[in-house]
Amino acid sequence: MQAPEPTTPTATPNGHLVGYARTSTTDQKAGLEAQLRDLSAVGCSKVFREELSSVAAKRPELERTLDYLREGDTLIVTKLDRLARSVADLVDITAKLRAKSVALRILAMSLDTATPTGKLMLNLLGSIAEFERELMLERQREGIAKAKAEGKYKGRAPTAQRKAAEVIRLKSEGKSGDAIAEELGIGRASVFRILRSA
């Protein structure tokens, strides 16, 4: 006698399996259908779908997904690039999930943050993101130091305080605070602060 096929539950002991599927354009219907099929196969009780470019500023369906999730739920995606645009983006999304006590499962990576191994993998990704950020800041600092040494670094635009002498001169010529602010391209409050201190 053949053993019955195992069934996949639509909820974890405390919550539901919620899927998120995304394709870059409406031309990739087959890719979206494949994701929906895979998410359905693992037992997602609800699936959010999005068809937009990966560089689009807003992902409204992802926001709806994150808002919908409740404590004990598991968010499931087929691949990492369907969910996050970068490691930093992934870290940001997982922080939101962690705050709601929601697990994340990425099918193609066999990553499940409900398991100790999954949590470790995610922490490693977070560490890589932080490392990349530190490298970028270090390169930026080195670039500024080099530009300063070569006399090419302009720094920040002049602040109102650096224009104090001009503010006082224009006031002595009988100009109003508003006229001075407009002429020097600084804030009205800055003009009056300089005049008070003078």
50-74 burial, b at 16+ Cβ within 10 Å, e below that, comes to bbbeeeeeebebbeebbeebeebbb
Residue 9 has which token pair?
A: 């539950």
Q: Among residues 24, 40, 54, 190, which one is catalytic? A: 24
**Is-contact 195 168, C-beta < 8 A?**
yes
Told to judge if 24 belongs to the known catalytic residues of this protein, a careful annotator would answer yes
The residues assigned a catalytic role are 24
